[in-house]
Structure 1
Amino acid sequence: MANPEKVSAENPLHLSWHDSAWIPLLNRGNVLKYFSERSNSFYDSQCNNEIIKMQGLSLDHLTNMTGIEYTLLHCQEPILYIIRKQMRHSPTHVVSIADYYIIAGIVYQAPDIKSVVNSRLTSSLHHLDSAFSEAISYSRYHPSKGYWWQFNDDNKTEGKEKKTKKKKEEPGSLFQCRRVDQLLDNLTSKFPHKFYQVQPGGQPVPLQKDTSENADAKAERVNQQTSADATAKATTGALSGTSNTPGSITVKSSQSPAPSATQLRVKSEMSDNMKQPFEKRTKYV
């Protein structure tokens, strides 16, 4: 396995440098001084800029010298600066060696065309190789059937299930438990439980209180039944010849007079509200 320090030394594209003390003060006039710090690994201390710096001369004297030099190529204050390293052979002939860009005070080496093309091709080949390897893993062959594709979605579904696992539910606090009990008590008082009463030989029937509409309906049915009974008795009396004309003999009936509508209504309410023995009750719902 290669040493990471050797790899970084061989490939400066993986390196960066910055000095936090200089970052707030960077501008067009001092960016070359910032780049020429001794701790900067991209700076060559044997360049012409270092000679001029030690002699206290201006940068205009670089055109009269030969050798490696650094110059400010582009500036977009306060965020971007581009510095070029070049070899000067004459005042009019220079050869570019490398470019460096400074973004937010951090120095990087700009990749050359060869490095960019090589990186993109390597990345494309890696993805193509991964795609072909995955496609081959799904191919199947049998002498009687030939070739076919078999895609297994079990691995994908298992991965999704692991991601969508529910978190453990934390128990409620004491305040939440008391609050829930209070709400349940209020609901129970507003909407009491309905009890069911078992009738002999029948299905359990819920007990319901007579409302005003149910009472009126029962009274109307009682009145209809009373009028029907009276009509039937009158018809029976006419057929038997017991009339109330003078000289006729009145036959007293042994039956008791018909109850009134109010009495029938009271009896029906009492019969509905009567409770049967405890053994015949069932549990409430």
Structure 2
Amino acid sequence: MSATPLPPPPPADGPAALPPPPGTDMTGICFRDQLWLNTYPLDRNLVFDYFALSPFYDITCNNESLRSRQIHPLDMSQLTKMTGLEYVLSEVMEPHLFVMRKQKRTNAEKSDALLAYYILDGSIYQAPLLGSVFASRITILFIYCKLRNKSSITGIFVLLFTAETEADAAASESKAQKETIDLKELKRVDHILMSLQRKLPPAPPPPPFPDGYVPSEQEKGPDDLLASEPLPPAIDPIIDQGPAKRPRFQ
């Protein structure tokens, strides 16, 4: 496995002074070594050696101990046996993006994430903390509220939720407009349908049943049903009027 040359050994008269550990907030700087990028390929095997050249690298980490023993610094089978600070490669999209996570290992199964760094096309940045992002957003909102004469904390939270509330109201209003029935349009459609119905000829009568075929109750039409019903007995109009109303002949 190829790797960049290790730093020279300390002089014989005593150990060299270690560089101070990097600060916590280094989001304002960017590191890039174009000479190294022109010499070595940037892949998952050599990305840690490139990251170790940046000011973000803490030389007191366990990875540096593995490098001194000629072991790959990202060998997780060795890092899980140690405790303390370490760097692990969490995301890889060769050769454009690498995400390096700094964490503190307590035991083989537990480690607490501290910081994250990403290498984008050879440039190394420190990812901002969530608290810093939230604080910067609150500051921007506070300044915006100042400009709108809403300097109170209540105004800030009102501004936070106003955009979402207005968006929901607009969405519900548009939905209500789509669901509203236009009565004029409905009458117009009914008028068109009635005009078409008047222009169309009446439906032809059903064909007669063949000779000898007895239709069932479901197949009988309304005329057949009326014909099959018994007719009421004929009533004599004279008898029905009673003897008092009969005409008298002289």
TM-score, scaled to structure 1 = 0.41
Flag the structure with higher strand content: 1
Larger Rg: 1
Name whichever structure is richer in helix by fraction: 1
